[in-house]
Chain A
Amino acid sequence: MKKILAVLSILLVVMSLSACAPKKATYEIAMITDKGDIDDKSFNQGAWEGVKKYAEDNKKTYKYYKPTEISTAAYVAAIDLAVSGGAKIVVTPGFLFEPAILVVQEKYPNVKFVLLDGFPNNQIYTADYKEKITSNTYSIFYREEQSGFLAGYAAVKEGFTSLGFMGGMAVPAVVRFGYGFLQGAEYAAIELGLTSVNVKYFYTGDFADTPANQQKAAAWYAAGVEVIFAAGGKVGNSVMSAAAAAGKKVIGVDVDQSAESPTVISSATKGLGASVILALDSFYKNKFPGGTKVSLGADVNGIGLPQNFAKFTKFNKAAYDAIFAKLVSNSIDLKDNADAATADLLGLTKVIVTLEN
């Protein structure tokens, strides 16, 4: 009996090996996922949808690769795998890919890299700091502070005067969302002639839906916060859960999250998919803007709120278009993560920021 089993299992292994050996499929467009998956309803999904749409519209082969863990070594290994799988252009969504891209852009000079939310560097913020972009890498940033600005503006215009910002890890993109949110609230408060708007401000340090995040949000709502801007992937799901229990509101992030919960009144989005499509298109038209860095803002529709204002009672499309036009013309001077070390140093006069730890 045991011998038969052994023979059978050997046969099985041999057959499965021979089954995949002859043809080796290649995939021209590759995406490596960051923390989270291609269906995280947030950052990775936004980028992946862009890859998928472009590839299907233009009949290109595409595939995503999931690193075995969250580390530069694993990211590099995943990129190695993508390149050996025939990738000509690799999309890497997220700040955490910066050190990996610094390595692979020189390792694979013939492969193009699109780095979202980051610029190739070693992330060692001391004298050993090193950054470099080669002609095969295109670095795309988003002006999250503008997106957050719109969210904060809309919230205060809607009549909320007690707000909360719950970010994930304090990475630059999240910080920009937060700072923008505060400045948007300030701008609206000045327009409306309000004396003060209170904002509780907190980074959870993760991108997860935990009892801790749910309780924090529940505590804020219990203390009178009317709407929380949740900028941290699945942190948002905990906030939505707390909001549903308290009958309060949430502002989503990255992509339109209104389908996730009826509590989501709007979302501070960034045009992940659109910018990926543009980058891929330029690559296939031999106009790849390698070696450069862009910051996509309102002027190129790189950020914005979804065009559905049904969940607002006072704020509306006209008000949105007016403020959006001001961002497009750059007539509002916004501070970002480089301008203030912490959120209470933004020099706001109407917004009272309570930093929590």
Chain B
Amino acid sequence: MNIIYFVVQNSFLFIVPLMIVALGGMFSERSGVINIALEGIMIIGAFFGIFFIRLFSGTMPDQVLIIVAMLVSITMGVIYSLFHAYASINMKANQTISGTALNLFAAAFTIYTAKVLVGAKQIDFKNTFRIAKVPLLGDIPVIGDFFFKNTYLFTYIGLALLLLSSYVLFKTRFGLRLRACGEHPQAADAAGINVTRMRYAGVMISGALAGLGGLVLIVPITTNFSGDVLGYGFLALAVLIFGQWKPSNIFFAAVFFGVTSTISNVASIIPFLAVLKLPSAVYKILPYLATLVVLTFTSKKSAAPKAAGEPYDQGKR
């Protein structure tokens, strides 16, 4: 039983950042802008968040510090995503190229800036944010062991963001307009919606979530940040597609990726899996194989927003 708790607790280290970033990508693409700059935005978000933690570690309570650091990451993510928004919305640039440029720039920028600021590529930080047990909730049998022990504040923030995203996208006027701009911007425009403004909103939300996701990914897994989020921005894109641009499906896709990845790493201590002696590569392949299979069967009725990737052209019919 302890091992099952362990696997679940650890899976969140994968699930939460993947889900947050994929939700960010969803908002952008639903508004009609493909955002493959997620990786770069994550790097920027992680960089400023971690740097903030390094500067202010010990000056305020840990959980307050992580909240402020998350706000820093979100802010910087939004600012960085504005470049993508400006290029792809105002300048009608190719969105793939703009996104690639941001990815390349982010990695170089963080290394350069880190060298100027701290004299080294790596930014050391102290991870003092782990919550061994949530008061009261952690005492609930079973559920407490699964969800309220050995955890981080951002696990709950991530789950809250999932519910919020679903509500905003499907139950608010803003969500409806955003989706309209991603499906048929000309129609949305004719109905009096400001397409430019909606697309800016979509990209900025994706910047906020990707920036946050970068910090959430890095904090639990290392003791210094060296300008790399290990391709998780691209993995989040896979989660987004696997999740067919819907918050609930994105959640399940992230859970699937997270649990299989975790199992691949910890299989050796799970008794019934250890007996099988399968190479860990087998488990690692699973989520990607599943993505391929799912895409094979769903690509015909793929739920991708119709206008995603196309600059809005008022004259086009």
Contact = CB atoms under 8 A, between A and B. Distances in A.
Residue in B3, B121, B269 whose Cβ sees the most chain A Cβ within 10 Å: B269
Interface residues of B, number: 33
A200 B224 CA distance: 25
A57 B281 CA distance: 50
A237 B13 contact: no
A39 B222 contact: no
A222 interface: yes
A39 B122 contact: yes
Given A211-B14, A222-B6, A241 B222 contact: yes
A40 B226 CA distance: 9
B221 interface: yes
Interface in B216-266: 217, 220-224, 226, 228, 230, 261-262, 264-266
Contact of B280 (A208, A210, A357): A357
A41 interface: yes
Given A223-B269, A357-B279, A39 B261 contact: no
B197 interface: no
B226 A216 contact: no
Given A39-B121, A210-B230, A220-B269, A215 B10 contact: yes
B20 to A, nearest CB: 14
B266 A214 contact: no
Given A210-B230, A218-B10, A234 B266 contact: no
Contacts of A357: 279-281
B127 A211 contact: no
Interface string A33-63: 0000101110000000000000000000000
A95 B221 CA distance: 28
Interface in A219-255: 219-220, 222-223, 234, 237-238, 240-241, 244-245
A348 interface: no
Interface string A194-215: 0000001000000011111111
A72 interface: no
B120 interface: yes
B189 interface: no
A208 B13 CA distance: 17
A63 to B, nearest CB: 15
B288 to A, nearest CB: 14
Nearest to A257: B223
B92 interface: no
B150 interface: yes
B265 A215 contact: yes
Contact of A210 (B150, B221, B223): B221
A72 to B, nearest CB: 23
B222 A209 contact: yes
A1 B264 CA distance: 60
A357 B278 CA distance: 9
Given A39-B120, A219-B6, A219-B269, A234 B226 contact: yes
A261 interface: yes
B58 to A, nearest CB: 14
B265 A244 contact: no
A169 to B, nearest CB: 16
A39 B127 CA distance: 21
Given A219-B266, A223-B269, A214 B122 contact: no
| Central interface residue in A210, A215, A223, A245, by most chain B CB within 10 Å | A215
B224 A245 contact: no
Contacts of B119: 39
Contacts of B3: 222
Interface in B45-68: none
B265 A216 contact: yes
Contacts of A37: 121
Nearest to B18: A211
Contacts of A241: 127, 220-223
Nearest to B3: A222
B122 A41 contact: yes
Choose among B3, B121, B222 the residue with the greatest number of A CB atoms under 10 Å from its CB.
B222
Contacts of A223: 269
A214 B13 contact: yes
A211 B261 contact: yes
A237 B223 contact: yes
Nearest to B269: A223
B221 A211 contact: yes
Contacts of B264: 212
A208 B124 CA distance: 15
Contacts of A333: none
Contacts of A213: 221
A214 B121 contact: no
Interface of A: 37, 39-41, 200, 208-216, 218-220, 222-223, 234, 237-238, 240-241, 244-245, 260-261, 354, 356-357
The 3 residue pairs across chains A and B that have the minimum distance between CB atoms: A219-B266, A209-B222, A39-B120
Given A219-B266, A219-B269, A237-B223, 18 more contacts: A39-B119, A39-B120, A40-B121, A208-B228, A211-B217, A211-B221, A213-B221, A216-B265, A216-B266, A219-B10, A222-B3, A222-B6, A222-B269, A234-B226, A237-B224, A241-B223, A245-B127, A260-B124
6 contacts: A39-B119, A39-B122, A209-B221, A211-B220, A215-B10, A357-B281
Interface of B: 2-3, 6, 10, 13-14, 119-122, 124, 127, 130, 150, 217, 220-224, 226, 228, 230, 261-262, 264-266, 268-269, 279-281
